[in-house]
């Protein structure tokens, strides 16, 4: 157990050091939801000829923030695998005594902390601007709601990473999935505006439920009735681990790497 803990801490610390070297990138990602939400808010004001309510801006900035987090989760493992294949780091890790599940858990925790940090900064500022300090408790509760939905997101993340091991190039996998996530999850507009097929597709993914529950918790409070899909969505997490391990094993057999 101690060995696994040390392996976990070693991988996690490497990821954290890499982030510290790219602090500017972190600041830019935080800025993006404000940039896009002000842009769409301004367009809406120009089209309507009047200034929309701040609640509409809040709806959009929370949506853009969860969208940013979703895209980070969708892409991070794919590019981690891609860089590992190019540099030989992935094969080295698989050949080392480090258990592959430890690698997955460590990188997943790093991505989760990274995502929650973005949501905490952007979401708290937006909540205070629109609703004042009266909704701070609601906002804190919304963080825990988001954590619950990060698990099925992580499952999709692992499936994308597993497919990248086979395809070698992540663009052909990540871009179509990101397009589906962005268009059908209701980040910026209600999915009821979409055709029924796209509505059904959006409701089959965890991203729609994540952004809707986060918004509802901040504006109103936790509504357990809206959390009913969560147990089913957790199947994404289980499927992600199973598929990742299967395809990772396939990669090991092809390369003849059995050291771990």
Q: How far is CA 23 from the centre of its chain?
A: 19
What pTM was computed for the model? 0.81
What CA–CA distance (Å, rounded) separates 260 from 247? 16
* 47: in domain: no
Mean pLDDT for 197-225 is 88
* 49: in domain: no
* 33: in domain: no
* 177: in domain: yes
* 37: in domain: no
List, as one string, the DSSP characters of 105-164: HHHHHHHHHHHHHHHHHHHHHHHHHHHGGGGHHHHHHHHHHHHHHHHHHHHHHHHHHHHH
What CA–CA distance (Å, rounded) separates 74 from 69? 9
**Is the confidence at residue 8, as pLDDT, over 60?**
no
Please, is 134 exposed, middle or buried when counting C-beta atoms within 10 Å of its C-beta (0-12, 13-18, 19+)?
A: exposed
**For residue range 70-99, what is the model confidence (pLDDT) as tens digits?**
888 777 666 566 655 555 555 555 555 555
Helical H segments across 88-99, by residue range: 89-95
Domain tally, the chain: 1
* 19: in domain: no
Mean pLDDT for 96-114 is 67
Pick the residue with more confidence: 223 or 236?
236
Pick the residue with more confidence: 52 or 237?
237
* 236: in domain: yes
Q: How far is CA 56 from the centre of its chain?
A: 23
The parent domain of residue 207 ranges over 54-255
Most confident of 53-67, 219-233, 234-248: 53-67
* 163: in domain: yes
Pick the residue with more confidence: 253 or 43?
43
């Amino acid at each position: 157990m101690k060995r696994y803990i040390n392996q976990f801490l070693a991988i996690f610390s490497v990821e954290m050091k890499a982030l510290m070297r790219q602090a500017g990138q972190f600041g830019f990602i935080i800025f993006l939801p404000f940039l896009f939400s002000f842009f769409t808010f301004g367009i809406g004001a120009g089209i309507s000829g009047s200034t929309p309510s701040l609640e509409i801006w809040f709806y959009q900035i929370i949506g853009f923030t969860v969208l940013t987090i979703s895209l980070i989760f969708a892409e991070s493992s794919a590019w981690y695998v891609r860089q590992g294949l190019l540099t030989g780091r992935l094969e080295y890790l698989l050949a080392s005594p480090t258990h592959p599940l430890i690698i997955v858990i460590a990188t997943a925790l790093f991505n989760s902390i990274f995502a929650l940090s973005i949501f905490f900064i952007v979401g708290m500022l937006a909540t205070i601007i629109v609703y004042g300090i009266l909704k701070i408790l609601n906002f804190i509760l919304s963080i825990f709601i988001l954590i619950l939905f990060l698990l099925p997101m992580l499952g999709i993340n692992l499936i994308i990473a597993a497919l990248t091991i086979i395809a070698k190039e992540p663009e052909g996998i990540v871009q179509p999935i990101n397009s589906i996530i962005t268009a059908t999850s209701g980040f910026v507009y209600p999915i009821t505006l979409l055709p029924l097929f796209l509505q059904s597709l959006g409701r089959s993914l965890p991203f729609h439920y994540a952004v809707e529950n986060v918004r509802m918790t901040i504006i109103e409070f936790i509504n357990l009735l809206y959390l009913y899909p969560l147990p089913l969505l957790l199947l994404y997490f289980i499927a992600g681990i199973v598929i990742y391990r299967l395809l990772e094993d396939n990669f090991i057999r092809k390369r003849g790497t059995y050291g771990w």
